Amino acid sequence: MSSAERSILHVDMDAFYASVEQRDNPDLRGKPLVVGGGSNRGVVAAASYEARDFGIRSAMPMAEAKRRCDHLVQVKPRMSHYKEASKSIFAIFHEFTPLVEGLSLDEAFLDVTASVKLFGSPATIATMIKQRVLEDTHLTTSVGVAQNKLVAKIASDLDKPDGLTIVMPDSYRERLDPLPARVIPGIGRETLKRLQRINVVTVRDLRTAEDRDLEPIFGRFTQKTRDRASGLDDRPVIPNREEKSISAEETYDRDLSKPADMERELLRLSERTAARLRKAALGASTVQVKIRRADFTTYTRQRSLKPPSNGTDQIYEAARELLAGWLSSNPGAKIRLLGVGGSKLAPAAQADLFENDGMRDGHSAIDDTVDEIRQKFGPLSVGRAKTLDR
């Protein structure tokens, strides 16, 4: 059985929409806040932890939320900002494993079984991901670490916010038994009512109930339900889709105003994007630069790359030209976010056709060395000298 043991993370952003609002507007920090539609008829899409102290939850009618807290702050959703943060977060997930199954903008399963060799234990990977997400997006996450999706998802919820909870088989009973039966997937409100009628309230009750009591409720899913209540789950992590582009971006605490600082950041981002392309054995035919000004206006510039490449230098050169072009028409701009991406991806073998000057797959020996060191010591272990003077 141990050869089939898997390491699964469930990563879940804390009060995601509300946290993005509090991050972007300091006036909202520490306040009970809900994100949701404009009228009283709307429902709460997300509630800050301060609002949750008043018993306010997502999906609650807005009028009810306001009744519970008279100084509740209501903010209209800004989906484009949440999507933006989500992209950054998923880009980080993909640095640790290609097996990322997104459940929503702010939640994903990661199968890191094969990543352990490169980065360390699943708990270490979870810690690195939490740290990277915090650095890049200034948002906190809660991570559950387990051997399957079911337990990982339950675990991520046990110590929110900013949690990291590991639940291994030897503690299934201790950790799962006391929880309400609704934590088991597939148990909705109607089923809960029926379970209550047979005195099944907790996971333990569900695990130990008689078949003759469960069968009228779960039918042919009775055994499966009991397995779930015992922490058993063999569903694989299914990556959502092939990547159409690979990118890295960062939002800065302080706006960048010096071109030299922008270039240094651009190199760091190019390095990350290029390393991910190399890991995926892909070359980019197009390089994009994303630039967000301090006033939130966002620009993208792109150019093609011939031959397609996954070399840090090639991608950085293209990105630098794009930034220089943009700066010439936006002199003195202050920049809040920078991103570098590669798209129109081709298998790296195709880039090989253009091999020359000691380049392999359109990248150089130094790229291989950097990749090797990062594989041994983690993604933060090495950068080029120019990127280190932060």
Active-site residue set: 107
DSSP code for 180: B
CA dist., res. 311 & res. 313, Å (int): 5
Nearer to Mg ion, 12 or 111 (CB): 12
Say if strands 164-166 and 33-36 run parallel, antiparallel, or are unpaired.
Answer: unpaired
Residues 102-131 that bind Mg ion (CB under 5 A): 106
| Site residue total, Mg ion (CB under 5 A) | 4
Under the binding rule (CB under 5 A), the answer on residue 12 touching Mg ion is yes
Name the segment binding Mg ion (CB under 5 A); options: 15-23, 181-189, 215-223, 343-351: 15-23
Both tokens of 59, joined, read: 């999906």
Nearer to Mg ion, 103 or 118 (CB): 103
Nearer to Mg ion, 106 or 313 (CB): 106
CB 142 within 8 A of CB 123: no
Q: How far is the CB of 129 from Mg ion (least distance, A)?
A: 14
CA dist., res. 29 & res. 50, Å (int): 9
CA dist., res. 131 & res. 225, Å (int): 35
Backbone angles phi, psi at 284, to 5 degrees: -95, 135
Length of the chain: 390
CA dist., res. 340 & res. 317, Å (int): 11
Name the segment binding Mg ion (CB under 5 A); options: 12-20, 146-154, 156-164, 267-275: 12-20
Residues 63-102 that bind Mg ion (CB under 5 A): none
Nearer to Mg ion, 12 or 265 (CB): 12
Q: How far is the CB of 49 from Mg ion (least distance, A)?
A: 12
Under the binding rule (CB under 5 A), the answer on residue 11 touching Mg ion is no
Backbone angles phi, psi at 106, to 5 degrees: -120, 20
CA dist., res. 84 & res. 368, Å (int): 31
Q: How far is the CB of 16 from Mg ion (least distance, A)?
A: 5
- Give the one residue of 8, 13, 89, 338 binding Mg ion; rule: CB under 5 A: 13
CA dist., res. 20 & res. 15, Å (int): 9
Under the binding rule (CB under 5 A), the answer on residue 139 touching Mg ion is no
Name the segment binding Mg ion (CB under 5 A); options: 6-14, 18-26, 284-292, 297-305: 6-14
Q: How far is the CB of 231 from Mg ion (least distance, A)?
A: 22
Nearest-CA neighbor of 361 among 373, 372, 350?
A: 350
Nearer to Mg ion, 106 or 243 (CB): 106
Residues that bind Mg ion (CB under 5 A): 12-13, 16, 106
